[in-house]
Amino acid sequence: MPSLHEYLLLAAALFSIGLAGALTRRHIILVLVSIEMMLNAANVNLVAFWRYGNPAATDGVMLVLFGIAIAGAEAAVGLALLIAIYRRFRTSRIEEVARLKG
């Protein structure tokens, strides 16, 4: 049975990988995937604290469900923005869009 410390290390690793991906990637879809990874790291933290805190209460599970709903909405809005940007600029690279916009 993994300990709380191991779950927190996993969440920290997921968040770090997601942050590095969001800051270094040039393609919009990869940035969105990296943001989703950071949201999943937060969900891992919530479930770990719920499991090792008070499993009788459902607070942690409810927060994770809201987090999943927010991640789904973020993905839908992000992909809609990606489609609009691609239709306008014919590219999905972040630096080219910023260069063409100005």
pLDDT tens profile 50-71: 999 888 888 888 989 999 999 9
The pLDDT of residue 102 is 61
Q: Which residues contact 52 (CB under 8 A, 6 or more apart)?
A: 4
pTM of structure: 0.85
What CATH number is given for 4-101 in this structure?
A: 1.10.287.3510
pLDDT tens profile 9-46: 999 999 999 999 999 998 889 999 999 999 999 999 99
What residue segments make up the domains of the chain, in order of their start? Answer: 4-101
